[in-house]
Chains A and B, each alone.
Chain A
């Protein structure tokens, strides 16, 4: 449930669901997100769910903090349809061409390459949120022994499709972008497609993702058909 609502500037509501990051808190965030999105309250122009916060921005020409706060406080988030989530398999190639930070991960985690892949692949990860760049999914939770900090100096260019790790999370760079996460592999799948306006994101909050390893040949042939 929402623990506190405050203003973020003069044109957004900051809904705080707590400080921990877990599936249960995140499900509440997503439930509120979906309910408010369906109801199309006049003046609300954006909703950003994250691990444990929901930011609701609005057009100050049409409404204000007090009105939107009153609306959110009186909403029955249970009205929302059940979270309609998918389970997705994402092919990932961890060939040395792609796993740019495997050496760094081996050192930090004190695990072999084989062990790192074994810990990472074929497990279910929950999509907490998407964003930063268009369509980037924030997936969790990685095993305790798989948690590494960001690079000290972020890369100026992370290749499109990179599958990368930081703390308890994995993500996918949906297009080339700067970034500081530890790169483990690359997926040939288009995780974001701006030509599909109604459904540009392959992975959405609430979905479950499993990474399946493919070989370099399978990677190269993936988009051939």
Chain B
């Protein structure tokens, strides 16, 4: 029995354990999974002196309300998140990108994400979780990963195997930048669409709909007219692929996506914009901007350098 643990008073609507995800499994039908917003995941771990690939609690929209029992421990929340910390009768509002120390009986109440989707709660220590294929990331569709592949549930207890001895308080001034232009490389079926459809795709606005989750983001907008075939022979998918089914509304594949699909691929989101794409909540407007391969590679390198720089300053 562990003497340090979390009790889940309220789980939130889509709260799961996530880490870096799992690879080399597409061919059997298992996607990467892992934290949706990789940069915020890494920062959360760094703020509590964890190894960068440690497991964290990911939540969407409404987060969990947690009661902590045990020795003193640090925690940090990243994203654009509204939360409070309660000790006995005192409740204070918390700030993201800063670690806090909590003690036996304290509560963390993650109320919501603010005009964004995902937030991360990292605890300075090691959560007691089962690994499957080198990752504890939960894939609720295939019930793979820790927690029997399920979301966190009310009344559940989560144990900690260890607590970090380094309890230095850390902070960073990072601010999530919001973007409305998502850069996209033309897909392998770009020419399936009419001249008008191609123009619309790169010029008009699309709206993120509520039918969006860790598997995919469904968009609504002007219809993209397919003049060749609304089906292709089923083939592999990767995250960021934008498929257009017969109804003409694009679907963007996200981290828990099906590994095979039969709809034409109009484009693929550039890796540099993935972390910011997943944070676009229902109702947000997206404009796709064409980018070529070499610019996409250069921009990703810069983004990655920026991430490493941010982490090294914490």
Binding site for B on A (CB under 8 A): 6-12, 14, 19, 21, 33, 37, 45-55, 57, 60-61, 64-65, 129-136, 138, 174-175, 177, 192, 194, 197, 200-201, 204-205
Contact = CB atoms under 8 A, between A and B. Distances in A.
Given A46-B26, A50-B236, A14 B188 contact: yes
Contacts of A33: 27
A151 B18 CA distance: 35
8 smallest A-B Cβ distances: which pairs?
Answer: A48-B236, A9-B268, A55-B236, A131-B29, A46-B26, A45-B23, A131-B259, A131-B260
B259 A132 contact: yes
Contacts of B141: 133, 177
A131 B260 CA distance: 6
Contacts of B144: 134, 194
Interface string B271-311: 10000000000000000000001001100100010000000
Interface of B: 23-30, 32, 132-133, 141-144, 149, 185, 187-188, 233-238, 240-241, 258-261, 265, 268-271, 293, 296-297, 300, 304
B29 A138 contact: no
Contacts of B26: 46-48, 55, 57, 131
Contacts of A205: 27
A9 B240 contact: yes
Given A21-B233, A50-B260, A175-B142, A60 B297 contact: yes
Given A194-B144, A197-B133, A131 B24 contact: no
A54 B144 CA distance: 25
A221 to B, nearest CB: 26
15 contacts: A9-B185, A9-B296, A12-B268, A14-B188, A45-B23, A48-B26, A50-B234, A55-B237, A60-B300, A65-B293, A132-B258, A133-B29, A136-B29, A194-B132, A197-B133
Given A45-B23, A50-B236, A134-B28, A10 B296 contact: yes
Given A8-B265, A46-B23, A134 B30 contact: yes
Given A6-B188, A129-B260, A200-B28, A52 B293 contact: no
Given A9-B268, A132-B258, A47 B27 contact: yes
Contacts of A65: 293, 297
Nearest to B242: A9
Interface centre among B132, B133, B260, B269 (most CB of A within 10 A): B260
Nearest to B304: A61
B234 A51 contact: yes
Contact of A64 (B23, B143, B233, B297): B297
Contacts of B300: 10, 60
B27 A132 contact: no
B241 to A, nearest CB: 7
Contact of A52 (B142, B187, B233, B269): B233
B238 A11 contact: yes
Given A132-B259, A134-B30, A7 B185 contact: yes
A126 B222 CA distance: 41
A196 B259 CA distance: 20
Given A9-B185, A50-B234, A131 B142 contact: no
Contacts of A49: 27, 236
B238 A9 contact: yes
Contacts of B234: 50-51, 129, 132, 138
B142 A133 contact: yes
Contacts of B149: 194
A183 B296 CA distance: 44
A191 to B, nearest CB: 11
Contacts of A133: 29, 141-142, 258
B13 to A, nearest CB: 19
B241 A8 contact: yes
Nearest to A174: B29
Contacts of B238: 8-9, 11-12, 46, 48, 55, 57
Given A9-B241, A48-B259, A130 B143 contact: no
A10 B261 CA distance: 19
Contacts of B28: 130-131, 134-135, 200-201, 204
A10 B297 contact: yes
Contact of A130 (B27, B32, B240): B27
Contact of B268 (A8, A19, A129, A134): A8
